[in-house]
Chains A and B, each alone.
Chain A
């Protein structure tokens, strides 16, 4: 069974540009989470989808970040325009719906560098 995949693995962009990160969850996982780790700090929650609906987006830093989950399958996270402080590793995780504290399976992350 394929795990959570993320694309690209690395992205280097200039300040002011746009970047779109993609996450493909494990098939059948209705929960999808985005997290971010800024260098030297903890991994922080960004938002949570249940199928195609945003369940919780309290961790989104500002309105330069837009997340979508088309048809409840893969998800994209767009940063527009990117700022220097957006640099970090963006993780995606997925889990089954309906199970208390269902294990979250993480992807390898996308390392974003804004110069």
Chain B
């Protein structure tokens, strides 16, 4: 069985400040790791994913996440946030199989203010 913990339900931050959204997971097998983002009134969109290889993965809009196997973490970071980054962020894991059912954390609401 797998589980994902996102300890922070809300993270308020000022525009242009750095941010880190924390994600820890538990699994008895190796996993794939994902961050999804949900902007207001929209569906979930894949932000970035780790399947294998380099433990540091990046998105096109400046977010990055690092897979840390020893700490079973996949924290999401951005050095300078924008107002438009205000959204809910979900960390998820799946087993490395052909049928990748996702197990999600509870989500973290990132609130960026001017």
* A55 CB contact (under 8 Å) in B49, B99, B106: B99
Tell me whether B43 and A98 are in contact (CB under 8 A). no
Total contacting residues, chain B, CB less than 8 A: 25
Tell me whether B101 and A48 are in contact (CB under 8 A). yes
Query: Bound state CA distance, A68 and B96, in angstroms?
Result: 27
Judge if A74 is at the interface, Cβ distance under 8 Å: no
Tell me whether A101 and B105 are in contact (CB under 8 A). no
Tell me whether A4 and B102 are in contact (CB under 8 A). no
Query: Bound state CA distance, A98 and B100, in angstroms?
Result: 11
Tell me whether A42 and B43 are in contact (CB under 8 A). no
B108 to chain A, nearest CB (A): 12
Tell me whether B102 and A45 are in contact (CB under 8 A). yes
Q: Give the bracket for the number of chain A residues in contact with chain B.
A: 20 to 34
Given the contacts A42-B4, A101-B51, A101-B94, A108 and B42 also touching, CB distance less than 8 Å: yes
| 9 closest Cβ pairs, A-B complex | A106-B44, A106-B43, A43-B104, A108-B43, A101-B100, A42-B106, A42-B104, A101-B32, A107-B43
Residues on A facing B (Cβ under 8 Å): 3-4, 31, 33, 35, 40-45, 48, 50, 55-56, 91, 93, 95, 98-109
Besides A45-B101, A55-B99, 17 more A-B contacts (Cβ < 8 Å) are A33-B102, A41-B106, A42-B107, A43-B104, A43-B107, A45-B102, A50-B99, A95-B100, A100-B96, A101-B51, A101-B94, A101-B96, A102-B100, A103-B46, A107-B43, A108-B42, A109-B43
